[in-house]
Structures are given as structure tokens and as C-alpha cells.
Structure 1
Amino acid sequence: MASAQDIQDLLRFLSQDAKVALAQAIGATKKLQEAGLVTPDQIAKSSLKDVQVIFEDDKIAKQVFNSARRVSKKRSASDAPSTAPSKKPKPAYGESLTPAAFEESLSLPDSCLDEDQLSTAVLYTNRAPLVLAFAVTLLKYTMSKQPLSSRLSLAQAVVSANSRTKAVNLGLESGRSAEEEGWGEGQPSVRVMGRDIPTMKRWGYDWEAKEEEGATQETIKAEPDEMFVGKEPALWGVDLEALRKSNGPVTVGSRNVSTSQLPIYTAQSARSYLLKSFESPKSEPEGVASRKKKPSAVATKERKEHNLGLLLGALDLLFQSWAEVLSKEDLDKRAWGWYVRVRPDVEAGVAGWGGKNLVKLGDILDLRRPAQPPKPTT
């Protein structure tokens, strides 16, 4: 069964690459899914007749088929091995990094706490990464003893669960979820933004130690060592859909297990999503902007990271203002409502799936607890 991301990518391909009208693309999505033609590669490997059956209009069918072949060919060329000398690869996830070094590699941009700057800042993004930013920041206050890698993993689990619920409501996905089939039964869970997230305990993972012989970020044991008894273990958010596909148990008995074998939401993918998702709104008409020199990839990357720092700062100020008077449970209960009040406005229904719009950070600041007047002196 195609995932929500697969359907979103298919809609993007049809409407942008194949130039199919959005209404027609939406109508064809379900038929393509039923025919097992969800990606450009799958469409390119099929026949024109298969595509014509779905679109009926021969001109549109040829348009989609040829676009799929073009996109597929371009991807194949980009995947071909390069003859140029490659740079030394960065340490892969699980290779030679101590827990402390791994956590450092996941660092996010520093939060900007300048209220004057935040009050006028406006970002351009879609809803999913905003949920992710809310959840990551919320967990700093509700699960402060968890390392950043765990907070990123748990926050990504919230985003995925929310996306699946939305996809089902829009009719983009059907069938029972892994959670509904009971794949999360028996797993410990934590509550994040009103959702129960199944977790895996990472016994033996000491992210506060500067050096730890033989340990990497992957360390996980069937039983805790004596040194960890009484200490809250780090957690992974469990990907139940991946667990169902692997058709295996989530418990791990060996001392060191590669995380590539574990059905979890990885911290790196969540961090990468945050870093690339917050753009600046266009300040000029499209025609004028197109005549100007486009910013370099490095400048664009730096701008998005700067914007993420602004957003994290606004969220920090919001949660800080309430953390002093609310319990962790109440803070979690309110977080989703705050997100709903500031999320970008998009079209209703399938047309708004993945849509982007403005997020005013001043609106986030307005959700802070009102300043209390000083008590009168006697």
C-alpha cells in the first residue's frame, strides 16, 4: 500500500512534471495506486496502453507516460557511479561515533530569542515540518532528560501519525493501519501532542559520557546494566508501519544492533526535514524575481537554517512562559491547540495536501502566558 508521502509525490509529479490539471491528477491518483503505478519509474516501466486506460484522454496519457520516462531516465543518470574522485564520506549512522559525538552531530540552529526580530518575522512552509518543530521544542520541557536524538525521533513519530490520519480522512489511504492491527500492543509508549507514541528503550546509551569504549549511538541491550538502573533510558519512536513490513518483533536481544535493522524513526531524517523546510516569503512579484540572479544553494541553505532558529526561538519563548505554571501533562495537552492556531492556511481537502503558506512568528509570541502584574508591596 502506498504511503501518504508516496501519494503526495505522485500528485506533485502529475501536476508539476506531467502538467496535468490538479483536479484531474487527484481523480487519477486512486486509479494509479490500484494499478500499482505510484512512482514515475513504475509508470515508465508500464505501457502506454496501461496509462491510457486510467486517463482515457490519449493526449494526457502520452503526456504522463513521456514525463515519467523523462523523470525516470534523469534519476537513473544521477544514480550512475561517478568517475570523479569522491570525497571522504562522513561517518555513517552507527559508525565510530560515541553517543556524545552523535548528539553533537544532530545539533539544531541556536534559538533566536530577540522578541523585536521575532515579532515581525514571517516564514513560508507547509504544516508537517511545523508540527515537527512544535513537538521537538515541546519535548525539551516535557521530557527534558531525553537526548536530542530521542526528541527528534519521537517528534517525527508524531508527524507520521498525524499525516496518516489526515491521508485516511482525505481518502488518500485506505485499509487498517499497523496500529489498528495491534502491532503496537505491549510496547511502552509516551504521550506527545495528544498522541500515544510507541517507543523502544535504548538501554546502555549514555549520551552524557564523553568517551565510552565499544559504544555507539546504536547500543541497545535486552537488560539494563547496573550503572543505568534508576536512570531513565533514552527512547526511539517506533515506526509501526516499518515493523509490520519487517514482520518481526521490536525487542532486541543482542548487545549491539544496527539501527538500520530497527523499525524506528531516525533522528537524522527528522533533523534534515527541519533544516530544509522553512523558507522566506517572496518579497517581489514572480516576474521581477525571475529576472534577478537566484541565490546560491549555500545562501538558500543558510537562510533556511536561520529561519529555523527564529522559529525555535519563538516556540521556546512560548513554552517557557507556560512551563512555570502548567504540569508537563497540561503543557502537552495545550500544544496541539497552539499549533492549530498558527499553522499555515491551505486549501481544504486533497488540494491542500502539502500546501504551503505563511507562518507569522508574532502569532506564536501572542500565545504566551500574559505577563502577571507585580504584587503590591505592603
Structure 2
Amino acid sequence: MKRLLLIDTTWPINSRSDRFRLSLMKKYDVKVSAWNRGAKHATSFKESFHVLEGDIKYGNRFKKLISLPKFIFHCLRVAKKENIDIIFASHWDSLICAFLIKLIYKKNIKIIYDCLDLPTSHNKLILNVLNFIEKFCLRYTSLTIFASRFYVSLYDSKINNVVFENYPSKNISNSYINPEWGDLVENIKKDKRKIISWVGVVRYPNILSNLLSVIEKLDVNLFVFGDGPSLDYLKELTINNNLGNKVHFFGRYQQQDLAYIYEQTDYVWAAYPTLDYNSIYAISNKYFESNLFKTVPIFSKKTKMAENLKTFNNVLIVDEYNIEAVINNISDALDAGVSDCKFKKYEPDLFWEEQEIKLFEALTLHGLLYDC
């Protein structure tokens, strides 16, 4: 069995990478090289996980950049120790690590690149450099996996690729549990306000600030499920604006909690900053989860996701930078009882496990798997 190293620059590894890990374990001997950049140490993990510890804080791009050589060296040591045949690089920064391991350690190592997000930067010079590095590394990549159907047009058509989006696991649709914080949710809901939920990594301070301005003006509650680099910022903003009675934090959740979270939610916020063009072309987990659980999503009108959804009455399309317009959009939806209407699905339900065969076929086609 081939030995595969999955590289992820976060800890715990992101949910998409973990789903790939579970799928790839069916065909490979999978090891993981990850980077814990938070204050808490990764004290409990299996032998197949190799985690570099370092308190440089998530969201600090400069510290991450200057510490990247240390993580690359960590990955190189893991690759040598485990005698790796194939590297699965999650995200473009992991692709850099994979290329350098191939260059320094073993020329015949194959690289699979999961294009989870596009390289982005507000600085055009830095962005051009990142795009050049990614394009150069792609020359040495055996297969690129696009996490969004809209990424394909942005890349050279000659590269080997497959589109494999953030399909939900079938497990989350089959399981429904009442989480330990479920009683708190039920108690808050006694005020009969509609619920807008933020589900996932808490980031994008400017969007969070706008969202709080919206919550302040409407008779709704905001439920925040998850953590991230902007969680403390959002908590402080909530306190400073005296919104503690309308904004409620539930912390990190498990995948099996999603069915419960969406059942308690009337509108799920998925309008991210489209000044970052990655948000324009990406397809978020919320796109599939909202469709699966029949919960009204709120998308940015500038995204590719939103282009074909304008005719669906139970999808809200907003300009995330125009606070007054968002207030009016949601207010109109509340008055019309949009979240109470029968939900019209905008796409057939697709599950990760059912799409695995497409992944294995692509790996086989490009010489990365022989026993499919």
C-alpha cells in the first residue's frame, strides 16, 4: 500500500481535509503533518499525526510567513521518517511544502494539490508573487482537486484536475443529537425572535462588524457556532454595542451537531467579503448544508454561487457591504415569512461518500492509484 502524507497548516486539520483523510485511508497508508499555531497544545492525537507546535496565532499572516520554513522542515522530517510516496497538499501554502520536499528529498514523490482556496492578498505585488509560486509548483503536481466548479476557468486547462466540492457527509444527515448546549439554545428561543446563524470559522472583521449593525436594527438573534481568529473581536464588539441579549456564542461544534444547528436556524449567514475575489469563486459548505437541511442561506450577490439562485424565493442575496440594504432585505424576508415557506432545493443533494468514486477514478487515471 502506498504511503501518503497529508499536509495541512492548521490544527485541528480543516473538516474538508479530514474527510479526504478518511476517504484516502481506504486506498493508502495515510499520515498527517499539521501545524498547531494556537496557544493550546495538541496533546492528544494518533501516531499517524505529526503536529508542529507554535503559538503564533491564527490570522497573523506575517508570523505565519516567517515561521513557514520551520513548518517546511517539520514536513520534510516527517516525509523522510515515514518514507512517503505521495503528498496530499491541502491549500496553496501546503503545496509549497510539498514541492520543496519533492525537490530536496525524493524526486519521484507524487503531489496531489487540493485547491481549497485561491491565493489572495490585498497587496497586488504579493498576490502576483503567490500566483507565480502556485503556477510554478503546479508543474510538478500530478493532480489538482478544485474545491469549486468556478475555479476551473482560472487555471491552465492543461493541468490534470477534478472538481470535488465541499459535499456534506451522509453521516450528518442521518444523525440528529441534542448537543450539551442544546438547552441553552432552547431557552434563548423562548423570546420567539428569528435566528440568524454564523456557522464555521469566525473571521472577516469588517463583515462581522456590518452583521452586528444589522442585528442591532432588527428584532432577531444572532447565534455564533464556531471559533476562529476574529472570535474575540466579535465578542468585544458585542459587549461594546450592548448586544449581549441578541448575540449568543456556542463555541466549536462537531459535524454531528449540524443537523441540530440548522434546525434551530432560520437564516444562515454565508455572505463573505467579495473584495477578496476568492469569495467570489468559492462554494462554501453553507451552500450545500443549507440546501440539505432546507434552511434559508444569505449569499453575497457578487458571488458565482448567487448568479443562478436569484429566482429562488427562499435564498437571500445581499450586498454585504451595504448595511441598510441588508437590513431591508432581511426585514422584507421576515415580513414575508420566507423562512417559514416550503423550501425549494436549488441543487440535488450530493454526499461526500457517494462522490468518492469520482475521486478514486481521477487518482487511478493519473497514475496515483492502482487498486481501484
Query: In terms of Rg, which structure is larger?
Result: 1
Q: Pick 1 or 2: higher relative contact order, CA cutoff 8 A, min separation 6.
A: 1
Alignment TM-score, normalising by the size of structure 2 = 0.31
Q: Which has the higher helix share?
A: 1
Alignment TM-score, normalising by the size of structure 1 = 0.31
